[in-house]
């Protein structure tokens, strides 16, 4: 892995767990953007959400991402970044990530997301502010319907229903395939071909 990898998707899709598996497998650093937000702003994500509202929290999230991307040499090294579920909602953030590395959407359906999230939400409803106020299934379905096309656009889409090791393997294979196809396309581009022996530049 030679460039940053940004894991996106709904809460409960496994970004942090899969991200740690990927980082260990490739011996590269792992960054959880929520943890970075908490360090930068000195408060837990639910508390920031409660104090600032969603628009204010999204601004803080974007600032945390910008600060990460601005680190010297960030785009030139392997690193796995797990994003919050709404971190891709700003077009500017998506564009900045695409310039620096590769976005990967860990795709999980509503039923599986609800199964994964139910015990956490029942134990501490404040831990997931966006899931408050209606039935868990309804809220997850609404969020996925609103965000699904944004997650998919410009990203590698990976089925993330299986265990983290299997999902990480799919991500690795997809990234390798993309790199291989990109190298092949570059080789076929006449602008990047070496001149034939004996030819002269004009």
Q: In angstroms, what CA-CA distances link 178 with 84, 148, 181?
A: 24, 21, 5
The answer to whether the beta carbons of residues 77 and 69 sit under 8 Å apart is no
Rounded Cα–Cα distance for residues 118 and 115 (Å): 6
Name the residue ranges covered by the structural domains of the chain: 4-192
Residue 178 pLDDT: 86
Mean pLDDT by 10 residues, the chain (202 residues): 92 96 96 94 92 92 94 90 93 93 96 92 83 87 95 95 96 90 55 44 36
Residue 16 pLDDT: 96
Rounded Cα–Cα distance for residues 156 and 118 (Å): 27
Q: In angstroms, what CA-CA distances link 98 with 3, 58, 92?
A: 11, 19, 10
Rounded Cα–Cα distance for residues 129 and 155 (Å): 26
pTM: 0.87
- Listing DSSP states for 155-189 in one string gives SEEEE--S-HHHHHHHHHHHHHHHHHHHHHHHHH-
Rounded Cα–Cα distance for residues 202 and 191 (Å): 14
CATH of domain 4-192: 3.40.50.300
Residue 196 pLDDT: 43
Residue 69 pLDDT: 94
Residue 182 pLDDT: 58
């Amino acid at each position: 892995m030679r460039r940053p990898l940004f894991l996106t998707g709904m809460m409960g899709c496994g970004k942090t767990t899969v991200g740690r598996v990927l980082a260990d497998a490739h011996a590269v650093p792992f960054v959880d953007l929520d943890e970075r937000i908490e360090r930068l702003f000195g408060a837990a994500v639910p508390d920031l959400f409660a104090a600032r509202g969603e628009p204010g929290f999204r601004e803080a999230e974007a600032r945390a991402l910008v600060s990460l991307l601005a680190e010297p040499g960030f785009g030139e090294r392997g690193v796995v970044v797990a994003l919050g579920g709404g971190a891709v909602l700003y077009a500017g953030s998506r564009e900045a990530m695409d310039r620096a590395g590769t976005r990967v959407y860990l795709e999980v359906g509503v039923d599986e997301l609800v199964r994964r999230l139910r015990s956490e939400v029942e134990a501490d409803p404040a831990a997931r502010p966006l899931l408050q106020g209606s039935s868990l299934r309804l809220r997850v379905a609404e969020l996925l319907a609103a965000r699904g096309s944004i997650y998919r656009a410009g990203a590698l889409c990976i089925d993330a229903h299986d265990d983290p090791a299997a999902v990480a393997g799919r991500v690795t294979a997809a990234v390798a395939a993309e790199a291989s196809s990109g190298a092949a396309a570059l080789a076929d581009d006449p602008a990047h071909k070496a001149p034939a022996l004996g030819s002269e530049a004009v």
